[in-house]
Structure 1
Amino acid sequence: MTFCTKKIIFFFVLYAFVFCTKLQSQKLFSLSSDSLKDIESIIVKENNPKKEDTSVVKKRLAFLSKSSDKKNNILYSALLANGYAAFFDKINPKSEHYYLQSIQEAKRSKDLSLIIWTQLNYSKYLYFYCQIDKLIPIVLQTMEETNQIDPSEMILPAETFQFFGWIMFTVEDESALDFLKKSMQYMKKPSSESASVLNAIGNCYFKNKDITNAMHYLDKSEAMALKIGDSVRYAKVLGDKALIYEKKGNINTAVNLLKQDIAYSQKFKIEKNEMYASILLAKIQLKINNKNEAEKILERAGEIAGTKSYYRSSLKEVIELKLMLLNGNLQKELILRRQLKQLDEYLLKTNGNTVLRRSNWLIQKNKYENETKQIRSQLEQGERIRNISILILISTILSSAIAYTFLVKRLDTKRVKVEEYESDRLIFEEKLKDASSNIDSYAEDLQNKDKQILSLEDELEGIKSFAAKQSEEDKSKLQEMLSSHLVTDENWSAFKREFINQYSDFYNAIIENFPQLKESNLRIIMLQKLNLNNYEMSTLLGVTVDAVKKSKQRLKKKLGDKYELLFEIIEYK
Structure 2
Amino acid sequence: MHAQKLSSSSAESIKKIEAIIIKENNSKKDTVELQKRLSFLKNSSHKNEQILYSALLANGFSLFFDKINSRSEYYYLKSIQEAKKSNDLSLIIWTQVNYSKYLYFYCQIDKLIPIVLKTMDESNQIGPSEMILPEETFKFFGWIMSTVEDKSAISYYKKALQYMQNPSSESAGVLNAIGSSYFRNKDLSNAMYYFNNAEAMALKIGDSIRYAKILGDKALIYQEKGNLKDAVRFLKQDILYSQKFKIEKNEMYASIILAKILLKLKDTAELEEILEKAGKIASSKSYYRSSLKEVIELKLIVLGGKDPQKELLLRRQLKQIEEYLLNTNGNTVLQQSHWLIQKKKYETDNEKIRLQLEKGEKTKSLIILILILTIVLSLVTYTSLNKKLKTKKITLEKDRLFFEQKLSDASYNIETFDEYLKNKNKQISILETELEEIRNSVAVQSEEEKTKLDKILDSHLMTDENWKNFKKEFIKQHGEFYNYVVKNFPELKESNLKIIMLQKLDLNNSEISNLLGVTVDAIKKSKQRLKKKLGERYDLLFEIIEYK
> For this structure pair, what is the TM-score category when the shorter chain's length is used for normalisation?
0.5 to 0.7
Match of 2:20 in 1: 42
Task: Tell me whether 1:54 sits opposite 2:31 in the alignment.
Answer: yes
Contact preservation (8 Å) 2:327, 2:333: no
Match of 1:33 in 2: 11
Task: Tell me whether 1:137 sits opposite 2:134 in the alignment.
Answer: no
Please give the per-residue CA displacement for 1:280-311, whole angstroms capped at 9, x wherever unaligned: 11111111111131111000000100000000
Gaps of at least 5 residues in structure 1 are 1-19, 385-573
- Pick from 229, 237, 250 the counterpart of residue 206 of structure 2: 229
CA distance in 2, matches of 1:160, 1:63: 26
Please give the per-residue CA displacement for 1:215-248, whole angstroms capped at 9, x wherever unaligned: 1100111111111221110100010011111222
Deviation at 1:367, TM superposition (A): 2.7
- Pick from 240, 257, 263 the counterpart of residue 234 of structure 2: 257
Match of 1:363 in 2: 339
CA distance in 2, matches of 1:70, 1:30: 13
Please give the per-residue CA displacement for 1:137-190, whole angstroms capped at 9, x wherever unaligned: 100000110111111111111111111111111111111111111111111332
Give TM-score scaled by structure 1 length.
Answer: 0.61
CA distance in 2, matches of 1:234, 1:125: 25
Match of 2:217 in 1: 240
- Flag the structure with more relative contact order, 1 or 2, with Cα contacts below 8 A and sequence separation at least 6: 1
CA distance in 1, matches of 2:255, 2:37: 38
Contact preservation (8 Å) 1:222, 1:234: yes
CA distance in 2, matches of 1:111, 1:147: 14
Please give the per-residue CA displacement for 1:50-89, whole angstroms capped at 9, x wherever unaligned: 4x22101101111111111111101100000000000000
Q: How many residues align?
A: 361
Amino acid at match of 1:363: W
User: Mean alpha-carbon deviation: is it higher for 252-261 or for 70-79?
Assistant: 252-261
Contact preservation (8 Å) 1:29, 1:111: yes
CA distance in 1, matches of 2:298, 2:22: 40
- Report the CA distance shift for 1:372/1:206 in structure 2 as closer, same or farther (over 3 A): closer
The 5-angstrom pairing of residues 402-413 of structure 1 reads none
Task: Tell me whether 1:330 sits opposite 2:305 in the alignment.
Answer: no
Match of 2:271 in 1: 294
- Report the CA distance shift for 1:125/1:48 in structure 2 as closer, same or farther (over 3 A): farther
- Report the CA distance shift for 1:103/1:208 in structure 2 as closer, same or farther (over 3 A): same
Contact preservation (8 Å) 1:49, 1:82: no
Deviation at 1:368, TM superposition (A): 2.7
Amino acid at match of 1:33: A
Match of 1:345 in 2: 323
CA distance in 2, matches of 1:209, 1:33: 41
CA distance in 1, matches of 2:23, 2:96: 19
Amino acid at match of 2:24: E
Contact preservation (8 Å) 1:283, 1:294: no
Task: Tell me whether 1:120 sits opposite 2:97 in the alignment.
Answer: yes
Contact preservation (8 Å) 2:109, 2:337: no
Contact preservation (8 Å) 2:110, 2:333: no
Please give the per-residue CA displacement for 1:22-68, whole angstroms capped at 9, x wherever unaligned: x447x111111111111111111122544x22101101111111111
- Report the CA distance shift for 1:380/1:209 in structure 2 as closer, same or farther (over 3 A): closer
Deviation at 1:250, TM superposition (A): 2.0
Match of 1:83 in 2: 60
Match of 2:251 in 1: 274
CA distance in 2, matches of 1:245, 1:378: 48
Amino acid at match of 2:324: Y
CA distance in 2, matches of 1:77, 1:381: 45
CA distance in 1, matches of 2:126, 2:197: 31
CA distance in 2, matches of 1:171, 1:375: 24
State the SS of the aligned residue for 1:291.
coil
Match of 2:522 in 1: none
State the SS of the aligned residue for 2:330.
coil
Please give the per-residue CA displacement for 1:78-111, whole angstroms capped at 9, x wherever unaligned: 0000000000001100000000000001001111
Give TM-score scaled by structure 2 length.
Answer: 0.63
CA distance in 2, matches of 1:178, 1:382: 31
Match of 2:382 in 1: none
CA distance in 2, matches of 1:276, 1:324: 18
